[in-house]
Structure 1
Amino acid sequence: MDLFSNIRPAVEALGDGAFLLPGFADSDAIIAEITRLTARSPFRHMTTPGGRKMQVAMSNCGRYGWISAPTGYRYDTTDPLTGAPWPAMPTAFVTLAKQAASAAGYSGFEPDVCLINRYGVGTRLSPHIDQDETEKSWPIVSVSVGIPATFQLFGPTRSGGARNITLHDGDVIILGGKARMYYHGIRPVAAATDPRIGALRYNLTFRRAR
């Protein structure tokens, strides 16, 4: 299965090691895989260490899964909801992440976790830095599916405001270099409808956890 779009537009540099690959991914094939994977490890709203329920519904696939709980953030090989290992990451997902990273100049990326996120209309993701990974020299590869969303890219702090980037179906954002440790988030998702999945946005976030 090929998860790449037939149209391969130029890579857009966003600065400090961040890149946008418009229309890079074939979202039809991704949706089919998300349906299969979340039948085994369903979406759920995790709880933050502060006791708040996250707006974004999440699942994982790969060797590890990212978990938010009252006890803290961590990676684990077991899905706490099912008690079973997370579903294996599809080979096509691995290839997509590697090819996207390579297109942005990050060859050799081998993801061992893929966060599968689901956003409804009005859902937002607060600005944060991904820093639970043991090795932070590898980039974060983020794939958008479904209705549009506004990605916010800050800097090493949240002061000074963010660069707002509209992400469409099939777009890929890559955070590497200095930008790997930059704050980023998603503004509340505006009302829209995708003919395949309705008023939803999916996001695949590929990381190297260990």
Structure 2
Amino acid sequence: MTQAVNVNVLRPRQRLGKYRIDGRLAESGYAHVYRAYDTVEGVPVALKIPTVSADGLSTDELCKEVRITARLVHEHILPIKNAEFVEGRLLVAYALGEQSLADRLRSRLAIRTALAYADQMLAALAYAHRRRVIHCDVKPENFILFENDVLKLSDFGIARLARGTLPVSGSGTVGYVAPEQALGRTSFRSDVFSMGLVLYKMFAGRLPEWPYEWPLTGFDRL
């Protein structure tokens, strides 16, 4: 009996245009992210490809992410290297970082390093907000670490261009999402709430427990 092939999953060494797939890095609700090699430039990249869907919504979502990210030119926001259609699929290439902040937080940070990271993260989010972009999914996994301890905010996949408060479907990541965002009402303050939790985890070593009561979990480590 022949097994069905999952057309959404690419195999190592598979080629799409100038990119050679080396392995999977992550996945979201509408896309897979692969470690790939740009055979023209000769550099590794993170390659984001929408899942195959009959209604084309995954491609539409990734196109929206490309357009929003293109508005943001900042040293601590991950820029797009290239976006193109190959064999009918949208490919979006980003510079490949060393690891995510979530990976880095598996070991304790020196206070000087944590303060430097906090400064970079806050600068990135403040800039996005000045450009009227609400990220909607601020969490350690979406800050990518590059050489020389440079952090860049990534993954604007569920971001919104906004004025004031927006009615949207509940989204975000459990543990970091603001209560009003989980209920479908997001604003710039929702990102600030999430950023506060990221910073708390970075300095305290763990997230506080909901419902928040003083003293917060991990407060003794601050």
The interval holding the TM-score normalised by the smaller chain is under 0.3
Larger C-alpha radius of gyration, 1 or 2? 2
Relative to the length of structure 1, the TM-score reads 0.27
- The structure with the largest strand share of the pair is 1
Relative to the length of structure 2, the TM-score reads 0.26
